[in-house]
Structure 1
Amino acid sequence: MNAPTTPTRRLLAASILLAAAGDAAATNAVVSPPNCNEAGFAAALAAVDGSGSGTITFNCGTATITFTNYKTIANDVVIDGGNAITFDGGNTSALFQVFASANATLKGLTLQHAEFNQSHALENFGALKLDHVRVQTNVSAGPVVANSGTLRVRWSTFSGNQNTATAIGGDGGVIANDGGDASVESSTFTGNSTGRYGGAIYSNSTLDVLDSTFTGNATTGMGSGGGAIYQAGSGTSTVEYATIVGNTGQAFGGGLYNDGAGSATLVVSRSIMANNTNGNCDGVLTSGGYNVWFGATSCPFAAPGDGAGDPMLGALANNGGPTQTMLPGAGSAAINRVPNAQCAQPYDQRGASRPGGVIGNGSCDSGAVEVSGTLDLIFYDGFE
């Protein structure tokens, strides 16, 4: 995409309802029939973004809006699809570019079939939140989400995305965190791939992953690696309470890989790494403790609670909460692995409480799911 420029301001179509939001300058918009289409949405976005801040919602029922060109966001904008709206790139268009001046939230949306000159569905230079979003079946020679700003992902699903590049541009099947600050919480990455590094996520700067599941992700190009996550660059990044199972690195690092060439530290704690092809844990990794691994390769961890054992995971399924997870079965080595004093996080990927109180001892489970946790629906509704 081109470097950020000032977006063109257009008049709002008559069918879009406007209301003052907060201060007088802010504008909200509701996209309604007969303009539940690209032109109607573009007009709403121009009005809200042009006012400096506001929220776009939809009164379209379940609808797909196909883009013929990508949309830019320069200010404080929330786009809330109510879990009923799909933005579709038609395999020819990208979806959004977020300027450095922006604070954008995409919520309750499906984003699919995006491509732009063999590049990114979403390009972020500012602050971007993805909340209860499904990002699926995007195929191009570049990562789906290119982040050079601040990226916050929560309760979202990334599935079936493909980055076909094997050289420059081939880093990150879904997310390429290139000099930005990225955090991923309570989300699932499944069936994504890239031709070089990071089947799901590539990062050369600060990355924090919490309560998330990675399965069936892969790197495919010759000499490629980091089937789930590839870390490079500098800074301290973390992977905590993750389930990383059945991913593939074509040459190395089927699960996790930190290349160690720079000064990057990747701390892994309270996580499951199992049955990843060509290495569960490779490169220069640091343990925060209470990790469990299983399969043909071990992890180089010896902190308290670290060890091999069968997590006895079920298939990816709806186990409660907004995203699919992999539930440990009876006798799992992950259950009750973390002492109560070391639990650290109050909720699992589903929004269920930690500790789950299995057999009443107050310990927590390693991985993204707390087997006997109590689901608390109040936490399902986006960023608190």
Structure 2
Amino acid sequence: MALFLPNGSNNNQVGTAAAPLDPQLGNLQNNGGFTSTRLPLSGSPVINAGTADGSGNLDQRGLARPSGTAADTGAVEVQQAIAVDTLEDVVDGDLSPGDRSLREALQLIGDGGTITFANSLLNGTIALQSELAISRSVAIEGLGQNLLTISGSNSRIFNINDSNDASQQSVSITGLTIRGGSTNQDGGGILNRENLTLTQVTISGNTAGDEGGGIFHGVGTLTLDNSTVENNVATDSGGGIFNNNGTVSVVNNSQINTNQATTFGGGIANLAEGTGSSATVTVTNSTISGNSGVLYGGGLENYARTGAEASATITNSIITNNNSRGTSGGIENIASGQNAIANLDLIDSTVSGNTATFSGGGITNYSNVGGSANTSVSGSTVNGNRARYGGGLINLNNGTGQSSLTISNTTISSNTATNTGTLPGGGGISNLNFSGASPGGSASVYLLGSTITGNSSANSAGGIYNSSDPNSTVNLVNTTVTGNSSAIPPADIQGTVTNSLSLSAMGAEETVLSLSAAPETSDPLTGQVMNLLFVGAALAQWDWPDLLFPGQAQEILFSEVNSATERVYGEPLSALGDLTLGTTEPLPGTNSPLFGEFEAVVPDLSLFPSA
């Protein structure tokens, strides 16, 4: 295929039958101007390969050339920069100053080019007649986040998709408000399947008849930098943002506020579906507030379906005042189906003031039908959340899967469980395992160096509730559980809890401290592992550092130590009926030393004789 002129002089591009050249031109179509043209595609050998055409330095459409380092060979000059200078949404072929619309600019701009806006458009609104399609890499630079608006006028605003999921275009939008978009499908404001970065952009008041009221994102990456997604509505899920098997980053003081979804993920829905697929969302230095998921996941839903993996990481952020009429007012992490994996990491963040009508006011970690749900909360505060069960957090497994909740260096306080029925509420934490007809599943909670205090329940278990299922376990390490309240005792902990030298004001249940006998003792229990059990009625008082038992005045003092092993002492059983060592063996004598294998906090029975 030969191109242009029959010789290769004067910057002409010539091919032969033996050595054809592919000019890499687009289809004959309206690329601006009054006539149809074939626009050079990205990577075309004709770009910047020619000279000015001698006819006023304009291309066939009347646009200036050269636009790049040199003129493009052929009739059409790829534009690397275009300034929009009208608010009208027109494509009329007139590209003279004052008549270049955003829609025309998107047709004219070359791959990797930049679209700007004339200052004369400041505080204006571009009201669209239909959605704007973007299928090539482009940068759109507005006049300021609240200084120029693009209105959908009952159509979606941007459809960013080149129809090739194998590779992604790079699109950036800066300094705009995208408002009033509407579609009966996905993505009321933006539908994106490329790599999209939004910087200082507001996505507001958009509506989707399906998923992603503000933004629907699938494949590629979506980054929100110092941007706001607010007051958007999805008839299905993802009121603010719906991510389907893609990667989303919300960073740098971005706000996801007052969005609503009829199903899940009022603020953000992160869904991984399809075997081998994955979806990832990262929230850093940002706020998710006032969103509503009618069924579940008011603030954020991290959801993995069969064979897929969903991951959410929230760092130095605030999740507050979100709500759900079902479960999970703040955040839900759910793995549903065989080999589904859902991972949630909450780091140095606050989850507060969220509400769920049923369970998991602040956070829900839920594995269902063979899934694996794993939530880690570190250096964070879970405060003032409310639900019928699990006011602060609920960890739940249903079936053969496993749900694992790990909490470290975190305060869980002033959360409320409102249930007045027969099941305990778990004002701070509720841990439940339901294996049903498919045994083998588990629900486990591990707390390290944390405080559970000031939580309440309208039933029992104001602090922690652990179900009686043998595969429902709670392990406390160097953790304080105290000052919680409930209408029905016990107030602090209900259910068996393994306690590695944590501080707990116990109710009618037991806390287990693992100790081992010292080799040099003459006690018959030498070398055996023993359990120190706090048993009996609720403790009368908690006043650091003294732990007072009812019915006697003796104290067990707690002290911080640096070594991993510290000596403690027992006493005759008759002296302290509420404290027993072991379950079947007698206590050692008053001079029998016991060594505990601890990390940071150990009991010192200082009132008893030393060895």
Q: Same fold (TM over 0.5)?
A: yes
**Post-superposition shift, 1:22?**
6.8
Question: Paired residue for 1:211?
Answer: 285
CA contact (8 A) 2:191 2:215 kept: yes
- Residue 251 (structure 2) pairs with residue 173 (structure 1): no
CA contact (8 A) 2:231 2:259 kept: yes
Question: Paired residue for 2:98?
Answer: none
Give 1:129's match in structure 2, choosing from 186, 192, 197: 197
The alpha-carbon distance between structure 1 residues 77 and 250, as it changes in their structure 2 partners (threshold 3 A), is: same
Q: Deviations over 1:122-154 (max 9, x none)?
A: 111111111110011112323121111211111
Give 1:241's match in structure 2, choosing from 316, 321, 336: 316
**Post-superposition shift, 1:217?**
0.4
Matches within 5 A, 1:1-384: 9-11=30-32, 20=67, 25=78, 27-32=80-85, 35-39=86-90, 40-48=101-109, 51-59=110-118, 60-83=121-144, 84-90=147-153, 92-100=154-162, 101-120=168-187, 121-142=189-210, 143=212, 144-149=214-219, 150-163=221-234, 165=235, 170-186=236-252, 187-204=254-271, 205-220=279-294, 224-233=295-304, 234-261=309-336, 262-278=340-356, 279-283=361-365, 284-295=373-384, 296=386, 297-299=391-393, 303-309=407-413
**Post-superposition shift, 1:19?**
7.7
CA contact (8 A) 1:17 1:29 kept: no
The alpha-carbon distance between structure 1 residues 41 and 225, as it changes in their structure 2 partners (threshold 3 A), is: same
CA contact (8 A) 1:202 1:231 kept: yes
Q: Give the secondary structure class of the aligned counterpart of 1:260.
A: strand
The alpha-carbon distance between structure 1 residues 192 and 54, as it changes in their structure 2 partners (threshold 3 A), is: same
Amino acid at match of 2:264: Y
CA contact (8 A) 2:237 2:262 kept: yes
**Post-superposition shift, 1:181?**
1.2
Amino acid at match of 1:27: Q
Q: Give the secondary structure class of the aligned counterpart of 1:172.
A: coil
**Post-superposition shift, 1:256?**
0.4
Amino acid at match of 1:281: I
The alpha-carbon distance between structure 1 residues 16 and 146, as it changes in their structure 2 partners (threshold 3 A), is: farther
Q: Deviations over 1:319-366 (max 9, x none)?
A: xxxxxxxxxxxxxxxxxxxxxxxxxxxxxxxxxxxxxxxxxxxxxxxx
Question: Paired residue for 2:398?
Answer: none
- C-alpha separation between the residues in 1 aligned to 2:70 and 2:197? 23
**Post-superposition shift, 1:267?**
1.1
- Provide the TM-score with structure 1 as the length reference: 0.71
The answer for unaligned runs of 5 or more in structure 2 is: 1-25, 35-60, 72-77, 91-100, 163-167, 272-278, 366-372, 395-404, 416-611
- C-alpha separation between the residues in 2 aligned to 1:56 and 1:228? 34
Q: Deviations over 1:40-68 (max 9, x none)?
A: 111111111xx212111111222100111
Q: Give the secondary structure class of the aligned counterpart of 2:67.
A: strand
**Post-superposition shift, 1:290?**
0.3
- Bigger CA drift: 69-78 or 191-200? 69-78
The alpha-carbon distance between structure 1 residues 15 and 86, as it changes in their structure 2 partners (threshold 3 A), is: farther
**Post-superposition shift, 1:12?**
5.6
CA contact (8 A) 2:377 2:406 kept: no
Identity %, equivalent residues? 23
- C-alpha separation between the residues in 1 aligned to 2:132 and 2:330? 35
**Post-superposition shift, 1:26?**
5.2
Q: Judging by fraction of residues, say which structure has more helix.
A: 1
- C-alpha separation between the residues in 1 aligned to 2:67 and 2:331? 48
- C-alpha separation between the residues in 2 aligned to 1:232 and 1:275? 23
- C-alpha separation between the residues in 2 aligned to 1:18 and 1:104? 24
- C-alpha separation between the residues in 2 aligned to 1:247 and 1:23? 55
- Provide the TM-score with structure 2 as the length reference: 0.45
The alpha-carbon distance between structure 1 residues 58 and 281, as it changes in their structure 2 partners (threshold 3 A), is: same
Q: Give the secondary structure class of the aligned counterpart of 1:196.
A: coil
The alpha-carbon distance between structure 1 residues 7 and 267, as it changes in their structure 2 partners (threshold 3 A), is: farther
The alpha-carbon distance between structure 1 residues 46 and 286, as it changes in their structure 2 partners (threshold 3 A), is: same
**Post-superposition shift, 1:270?**
0.8
The answer for unaligned runs of 5 or more in structure 1 is: 312-384
Q: Give the secondary structure class of the aligned counterpart of 1:133.
A: strand
- C-alpha separation between the residues in 2 aligned to 1:129 and 1:307? 35
The alpha-carbon distance between structure 1 residues 259 and 81, as it changes in their structure 2 partners (threshold 3 A), is: same
- C-alpha separation between the residues in 1 aligned to 2:27 and 2:316? 41
Amino acid at match of 2:299: A
CA contact (8 A) 1:16 1:44 kept: no
- C-alpha separation between the residues in 2 aligned to 1:287 and 1:281? 11
- C-alpha separation between the residues in 2 aligned to 1:203 and 1:104? 21
The alpha-carbon distance between structure 1 residues 134 and 21, as it changes in their structure 2 partners (threshold 3 A), is: farther
CA RMSD of aligned residues (A): 2.7
Amino acid at match of 1:127: N
**Post-superposition shift, 1:96?**
1.0
- C-alpha separation between the residues in 2 aligned to 1:277 and 1:6? 55
CA contact (8 A) 1:21 1:28 kept: no
